[in-house]
C-alpha cells in the first residue's frame, strides 16, 4: 500500500473542513480526493458532467480564504468554430461544516443551448489515517432521499446532507443531482448545491470563533512576489484557524491539509511564533490550548509525562504507517514542543502579551521547566533525548520525524535514544527565557535555569562538534552510544539565535549554511548534497521545507549574517512563484542550476500553516524590528542593503498598537507608532 500523492491536487479549506480535487475541480473516487471534516471523509466523489461528458478544464485560481474557482469549457455546445462559446465557472466555497458549489454557465453562442447538468456524488466516511496509508477498503454508503433535491448519508459518527437548488435528486448506490438547462442566445444561468455535515458523535476540534486574530498588514514592496506570497499566506492561515470545544474562544492554527488539520504542538507553536509581528492573540490562544493538555502523569503508551506539551490531538487512535502502529488520540511523542512552548510564551510577552494573560500560564511554565529537568534526559547525561519505549509511536520525535531522518555522513541510520542538536538549542533558549519570566514575575528559580543553560552550552561544545570537509560543525545528533551523527544538515541553523553558540561558532555555522551543499536549491536543504544519505526527494534528507528555511534565515538575520539570510529568502520567493504563491509543506532539494523550478514533493500537504507563516518571517527578517515591551525598548536592524528592495509594512502590532516600518532601497529604516515611552535602539 502506498500513500496517495497530493502534488497535483487543489486544496480548499475552512477548518475543520477541507477539500482536495483535481485541477479541473472534479472530486474523483481515487486516492485522497474528497471532502474531509475533522479526520473523516464525508464526500468521496463530486463529478460534474454536462450531457454525460466532463467539461474540459482550462484553469483554476484561489479566490480568498476557503474559496477556489475552476474554469472549464463545453466545446460541443454552442456555435461551431475555433472559439469556445459555452463556459463553466465552478466556484467552490467551504464553510467549517460543509461546502457550497455554484456552477455559473455562460454562453456567448448565437444559438440556444440546451443541456443536462449532473453532479455524481458518493460518500464513504473513510477515516483520514486509512486514506493516508492507502488502506481504504470500504465501499460508498448508499444515499437516501431526504425531500425535493436532497440526499443524505448516515454513519455512526456523522450525518451528511446534500441539497441541490432546483435539482432532481436520485438516491441509491449511484446518487446524483440533475438539472435541465435551456439558455437563450448569449444567456447564462447559475446552478448551486451545498453539503452540510452534522457531527453527533462530538467534534474534537471546532471552527475558531470570530474574525482572525490579526489584521492584514499594509505592504508596499518593490518585489511584488513578496506581496503576492503574503496575501496568499494570510488567506490560507485564516482558513486554518481552529479551536477546541472546551475553549472555543482560544484559537490555534491547524498544521495543514489534508493530514494534519488539527492541533499539533510543534507546528501550531512555530506558526504562532512566526505571526507575532501581527499581534499576540493567536499566540495566547495557542499557549492556553496546549497548557490545558499539558502532561500530568507518566504514560509510555502516549508519551505523556508531567509538564510535557503534547504532539497532536485526534478524534481517535490513528495508524501511523503500513506496519499498523497505533498512537492514542492525545499523543505526546515530541521532544521539542515543550521548550518551544516556553519560548513562545516569552516571545509573546516581549511583543506585548498582557501580564494578565501571562500570569495564569506561569504554573505551566514551571511545569514545563520541570519536564526539562526531570523527564527530558532519562540517562542524565545532560542532553534532551528521545526513544519510543512503547514500540507503537514515532521512532523520531524531533521535527524531522520520519523513520530514516537521522543518518550519519555515510548514510547509516542512528539508533535511539537520540539527542538532536537543535533541541539542545531550544532547551538552552527555553531555560534563559524561563529565567527571564520567573525574574520578571517575582517567582523563584531563575538562577537555576541560567546555570542549566550555561552547563548545557559547555556540554554541547564538548560533545557535538565534529570535523568535516569544510571545517568544524555541530553534528545532527548523538546516537545511543553518544557518537556524533556527523551528517551536515539544516538542523544546525536552528541553533542560531538560541544563545547556545559563541559568535565564532555562529559564524562557522552561517558559512556552512550558505555553502552549496545546503543552499544551492530553492531554500535550505534539510541535508547536504555531500552526505551519502542525500536525496532531493527524501522527506527529511535533502528536500527543502519552507518553515525550516524561514527559521534559519531568521536566525541568520538576527545574528547579522545578512548575505546568507538574503540568499535563503530569495530561494523561497523563487519557489513561491512556481507554486502559485502557496508554499507547500516541502519540495525537492535539486540545485537551482539543474532545474528551472522546484520539483514538487508528491505527498506534500498544501496549505500548511508553518509554510504559510514563513512568508511573514521573510518580511520580519527584512524589517528587523524586535520589541521588548516589558523593557520599554525595541531594536531595529533590517537586512543590510535592502536585498529584497524597498519595503514598507504598516499594521504591525506592538503591545496592541499599530506600528509601521519602512526600509528604503539603500537599507535605511524608520519606524513609527511605537508605544509611548518605548526607546528605539538601532541594531547596527
pLDDT, one tens digit per residue, over 662-677 is: 999 999 999 999 999 9
Q: How many CB atoms lie within 10 A of CB 156?
A: 7
Residue 273, strand partner residues: none
CATH code (residue 532): 1.50.10.10
Q: For the chain, what is the mean pLDDT?
A: 96
Question: Does 681 fall in a domain?
Answer: no
Cell numbers of 260, please? 494534519
Any domain includes 679: no
Q: Are both 243 and 190 inside the same structural domain?
A: no
Q: Are residues 260 and 324 in the same domain?
A: yes
pLDDT surpassing 70 at residue 201: no
Q: For the whole model, what pTM was predicted?
A: 0.96
| Same domain membership, residue 326 and residue 348 | yes
| pLDDT > 90: percent of the chain | 92
Could you give the residue ranges of the DSSP H alpha helices within 150-223? none
Confidence of residue 322 (pLDDT cuts 50, 70, 90): low
Task: Look at residue 315 and tell me whether its pLDDT is greater than 90.
Answer: no
Residues 356 and 449 in one domain: yes
Which residue bears the cell 552547563?
Answer: 455
Q: Residues near 123 by Cβ (< 8 Å), separated by ≥ 6?
A: 41, 42, 43, 44, 140, 141, 143, 153, 160
State whether 233 and 167 are in the same domain.
Answer: no
DSSP percent split of the chain into helix, strand, coil, nearest 5: 25, 30, 45
Measure the CA–CA gap between 406 and 414, rounded to whole angstroms: 6
Q: Are 253 and 286 in contact (CB under 8 A)?
A: yes
Give tens-digit pLDDT for 577-617: 999 999 999 999 999 999 999 999 999 999 999 999 999 99
Q: Is 609 helix (H, G, I), strand (E, B) or coil?
A: helix
- pLDDT value at residue 469: 84
Compute the CA torsion angle 111, 113, 114, 117 (nearest 10 deg): 170
What is the enclosing helix (H) or strand (E) of 163? strand 159-164
Same domain, yes or no: 185 and 315: no
Coil, strand or helix at 649: strand
Residues 132 and 260 in one domain: no
Q: Of 161, 181, 198, which one is at a domain's C-terminal end?
A: 198
Does 678 reside within a domain?
no
Give the confidence band of 317 by pLDDT, cuts at 50, 70, 90.
confident
Residue 676 lies in a domain: no
Distance CA 378, CA 246 (A): 33
Instruction: Please give the tally of structural domains in the chain.
Output: 2
Whether residue 272 has pLDDT greater than 90? yes
Q: Is the pLDDT of residue 78 over 90?
A: yes
Please report whether residue 266 resides in a domain. yes
Residues 567, 596: one domain?
A: yes
Model confidence pLDDT, tens digit, residues 454-507: 999 999 999 999 998 889 999 999 999 999 999 999 999 999 999 999 999 999
pLDDT number for residue 678: 96
Residue that is last in its domain, among 198, 223, 257: 198
Provide the residue range defining the domain that includes 118: 10-198
Residue 364 lies in a domain: yes
With a cut of 90, say whether residue 568 has pLDDT above it.
Answer: yes
From 198, 215, 238, give the residue that closes a domain: 198
| In a shared domain, residues 181 and 249 | no
Q: Say if residue 172 is in the same domain as residue 281.
A: no
Q: What is the CATH number of the domain that holds 175?
A: 2.70.98.40
158 with 211, same domain: the answer is no
Q: For 458-465, which contacts have Cβ atoms below 8 Å and span 24 or more sequence positions?
A: 459/382, 459/383, 460/383, 460/421, 460/424, 460/428, 460/500, 461/505, 463/383, 464/421, 464/424
Is residue 1 situated within a structural domain?
A: no
Q: pLDDT tens digits for 396-426?
A: 999 999 999 999 999 999 999 999 999 999 9
672 within domain boundaries: no
What's the pLDDT tens digit per position in 610-621? 999 999 999 999
pLDDT tier, 52 (very low <50, low <70, confident <90, very high otherwise) = very high
The residues with which 48 forms a beta bridge, in sequence order, are 119
N- to C-terminal Cα distance for the chain? Answer: 56
Looking at the structure, tell me whether residues 135 and 249 fall in a common domain.
no
Q: Is the pLDDT of residue 137 over 80?
A: no
Amino acid at each position: 500500500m502506498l500513500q496517495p500523492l497530493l502534488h497535483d491536487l487543489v486544496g480548499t479549506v475552512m477548518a475543520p473542513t477541507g477539500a482536495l480535487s483535481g485541477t479541473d475541480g472534479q472530486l474523483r473516487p481515487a486516492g485522497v480526493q474528497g471532502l474531509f471534516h475533522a479526520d473523516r471523509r464525508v464526500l468521496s466523489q463530486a463529478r460534474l458532467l454536462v450531457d454525460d461528458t466532463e467539461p474540459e478544464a482550462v484553469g483554476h485560481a484561489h479566490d480568498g480564504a476557503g474559496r477556489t474557482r475552476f474554469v472549464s469549457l463545453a466545446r460541443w455546445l454552442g456555435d461551431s468554430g475555433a472559439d469556445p462559446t459555452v463556459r463553466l465557472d465552478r466556484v467552490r466555497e467551504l464553510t467549517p461544516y460543509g461546502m457550497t458549489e455554484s456552477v455559473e454557465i455562460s454562453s456567448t453562442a448565437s444559438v440556444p443551448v440546451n443541456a443536462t447538468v449532473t453532479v455524481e456524488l458518493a460518500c464513504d466516511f473513510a477515516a483520514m489515517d486509512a486514506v493516508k496509508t492507502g488502506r481504504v477498503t470500504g465501499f460508498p454508503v448508499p444515499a437516501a432521499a431526504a425531500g425535493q433535491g436532497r440526499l443524505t448519508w448516515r454513519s455512526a459518527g456523522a450525518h451528511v446532507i446534500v441539497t441541490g437548488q432546483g435539482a432532481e435528486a436520485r438516491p441509491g448506490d449511484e446518487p446524483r443531482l440533475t438539472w435541465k438547462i435551456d439558455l437563450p442566445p448569449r444567456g447564462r444561468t447559475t446552478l448551486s448545491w451545498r453539503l452540510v455535515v452534522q457531527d453527533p458523535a462530538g467534534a474534537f476540534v471546532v471552527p475558531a470563533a470570530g474574525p482572525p486574530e490579526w489584521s492584514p498588514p499594509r505592504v508596499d514592496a518593490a518585489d511584488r512576489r513578496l506581496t503576492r506570497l503574503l496575501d496568499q499566506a494570510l488567506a490560507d492561515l485564516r482558513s486554518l484557524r481552529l479551536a477546541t470545544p472546551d475553549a472555543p474562544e482560544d484559537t490555534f492554527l491547524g498544521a495543514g491539509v489534508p493530514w494534519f488539520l488539527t492541533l499539533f504542538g510543534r507546528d501550531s507553536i512555530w506558526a504562532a511564533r512566526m505571526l507575532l509581528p501581527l499581534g499576540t492573540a493567536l499566540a495566547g490562544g495557542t499557549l492556553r490550548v496546549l497548557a490545558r493538555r499539558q502532561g500530568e502523569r507518566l504514560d509510555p503508551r502516549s508519551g505523556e509525562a508531567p509538564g510535557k506539551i503534547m504532539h497532536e490531538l485526534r478524534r481517535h487512535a490513528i495508524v501511523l504507517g503500513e506496519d499498523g502502529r497505533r498512537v492514542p488520540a492525545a499523543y505526546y511523542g515530541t521532544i521539542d514542543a515543550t521548550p518551544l512552548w516556553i519560548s513562545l510564551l516569552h516571545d509573546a510577552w516581549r511583543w506585548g502579551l498582557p501580564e494578565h494573560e501571562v500570569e495564569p500560564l506561569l504554573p505551566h511554565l514551571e511545569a514545563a521547566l520541570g519536564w526539562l529537568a526531570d523527564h527530558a534526559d532519562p540517562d542524565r547525561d545532560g542532553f534532551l533525548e528521545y526513544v519510543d519505549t512503547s514500540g507503537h509511536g514515532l521512532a523520531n520525535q524531533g521535527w524531522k520525524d520520519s523513520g530514516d531522518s537521522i543518518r550519519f555522513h555515510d548514510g547509516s541510520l542512528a539508533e535511539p535514544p537520540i539527542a538532536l542538536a537543535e533541541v539542545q538549542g531550544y532547551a538552552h533558549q527555553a531555560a534563559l527565557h524561563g529565567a527571564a519570566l520567573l525574574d520578571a514575575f517575582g517567582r523563584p528559580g531563575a538562577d537555576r535555569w541560567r546555570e542549566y543553560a550555561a552547563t548545557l552550552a559547555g556540554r554541547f561544545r564538548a560533545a557535538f562538534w565534529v570535523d568535516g570537509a569544510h571545517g568544524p560543525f555541530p553534528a545532527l545528533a548523538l546516537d545511543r552510544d553518544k557518537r556524533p551523527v556527523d551528517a551536515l544538515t539544516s538542523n544546525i541553523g536552528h541553533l542560531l539565535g538560541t544563545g547556545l553558540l559563541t559568535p565564532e561558532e555562529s559564524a562557522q555555522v552561517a558559512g556552512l549554511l550558505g555553502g552549496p551543499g545546503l543552499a544551492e536549491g530553492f531554500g535550505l536543504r534539510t541535508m547536504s548534497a555531500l552526505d551519502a544519505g542525500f536525496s532531493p526527494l527524501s522527506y527529511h534528507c535533502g528536500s527543502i521545507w519552507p518553515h525550516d528555511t524561514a527559521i534559519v534565515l531568521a536566525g541568520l538575520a538576527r545574528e547579522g549574517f545578512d548575505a546568507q539570510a538574503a540568499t535563503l529568502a530569495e530561494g523561497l520567493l523563487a519557489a513561491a512563484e512556481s507554486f502559485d504563491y502557496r508554499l507547500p509543506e516541502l519540495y525537492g532539494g535539486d540545485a537551482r542550476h539543474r532545474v528551472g523550478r522546484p520539483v514538487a514533493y508528491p505527498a506534500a500537504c498544501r496549505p500548511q500553516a508553518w509554510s504559510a507563516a514563513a512568508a511573514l518571517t521573510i518580511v520580519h527578517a527584512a524589517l528587523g524590528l524586535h520589541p521588548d515591551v516589558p523593557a520599554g525598548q525595541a531594536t531595529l536592524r533590517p537586512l543590510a542593503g535592502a536585498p529584497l528592495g524597498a519595503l514598507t509594512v504598516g499594521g504591525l502590532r506592538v503591545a496592541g498598537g499599530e506600528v509601521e516600518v519602512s526600509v528604503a532601497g539603500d537599507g535605511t529604516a524608520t519606524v513609527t507608532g511605537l508605544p509611548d515611552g518605548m526607546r528605539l535602539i538601532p541594531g547596527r
